[in-house]
């Protein structure tokens, strides 16, 4: 608790193609690092079976999403796989001000927007060991239609081509090892920054 009183939190962006294991890695990371906060995104896509509104995403309709855009409420937003996804500025600001480090699990378009707007962000790209491994994971997950699979695999190439714009690249060939590496990144980056303003502008 004392740590949160004296420091402003940092933003850690976690990106990687769909099926790279971001969700699994992130959940394990949060078990090990309770001081982290997860930023719950807004999305216009339909919930998958088992997904809970307000926990996994805020599931909103396109009218509401576009009105948030108009109000400038998003720190970042993007059209991903044909649906809109966005991070509310107020959510991130609240947690950072309270001293928590915030993890944004977002795509590469959103990551670049955060980089441009925030002076205390670290970008981590989680990559699958190969495109073949990615396809296998997506099929095992069994949540996507053939059409959605096709779109996600095409986008995977696009995302992988942007990995060089990130601060860190972590290959997810073992969940334990990926979690250990991201944990180390967070711990060492925490020590690198003095407490200063978390977000620029607005
Ligand atoms: P999914 O539909 O599989 O949950 O997510 C699809 C993609 O959207 C993933 O790459 C995920 O990281 C990305 N995504 C989720 N939330 C956000 C967000 O708030 N902003 C952006 N730019 N991408 C997001």
Query: What does the mean pLDDT of the chain come to?
Result: 90
| Of 111, 118, 69, residue with least CA distance to 93 | 118
| Of 43, 36, 42, 49, residue with least CA distance to 9 | 36
Is 144's C-beta closer than 6 angstroms to any atom of ligand 1?
no
Ligand 1 geometric centre to CA of 5 (Å): 31
pTM: 0.89
Q: What was the pLDDT predicted at 142?
A: 80
Ligand 1 geometric centre to CA of 109 (Å): 10
Longest dimension (CA), the chain: 50
* Interior angle at CA 169, CA 25 and CA 190, nearest 5: 75
**Alpha helix ranges (H) inside 13-107:** 22-32, 62-71, 89-97
Ligand 1 geometric centre to CA of 136 (Å): 20
Ligand 1 geometric centre to CA of 56 (Å): 11
**Nearest atom (ligand 1) to Cα of 113:** 22
**Nearest atom (ligand 1) to Cα of 87:** 19
pLDDT confidence of 5, banded at 50, 70, 90?
low
- Give domain 11-39+100-192's CATH superfamily: P-loop containing nucleotide triphosphate hydrolases (3.40.50.300)
pLDDT tens digits along 146-188: 888 888 888 898 899 999 999 999 999 999 999 999 999 999 9
pLDDT tens digits along 28-45: 999 999 889 999 999 999
Is 18's C-beta closer than 6 angstroms to any atom of ligand 1?
yes
Domains of the chain, residue spans: 11-39+100-192
pLDDT tens digits along 127-146: 999 888 888 888 888 878 88
CB 124 within 8 A of CB 182: yes
Ligand 1 geometric centre to CA of 80 (Å): 7
């Amino acid at each position: 608790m004392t740590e949160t009183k004296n420091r402003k939190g940092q933003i850690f962006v976690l990106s990687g193609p769909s099926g790279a294991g971001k969700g699994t890695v992130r959940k394990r990371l949060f078990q090990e690092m309770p001081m982290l906060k997860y930023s719950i995104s807004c999305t216009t896509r339909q919930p998958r079976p088992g997904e809970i509104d307000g926990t996994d995403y805020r599931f909103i309709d396109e009218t509401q999403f576009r009105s948030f855009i108009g109000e400038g409420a998003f720190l970042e937003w993007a059209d991903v796989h044909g649906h809109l996804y966005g991070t509310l500025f107020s959510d991130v600001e609240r947690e950072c001000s309270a001293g928590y480090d915030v993890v944004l699990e977002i795509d590469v378009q959103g990551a670049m927007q955060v980089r441009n707007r925030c002076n205390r962000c670290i970008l981590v790209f989680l990559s699958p060991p190969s495109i073949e491994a990615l396809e296998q994971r997506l099929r095992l997950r069994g949540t996507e239609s053939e059409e959605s699979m096709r779109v996600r695999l095409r986008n995977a190439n696009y995302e992988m081509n942007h990995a060089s714009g990130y601060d860190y690249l972590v290959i997810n060939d073992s969940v334990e090892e990926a979690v250990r590496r991201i944990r180390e990144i967070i711990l060492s980056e925490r020590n690198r920054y003095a407490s200063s303003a978390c977000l620029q502008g607005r």
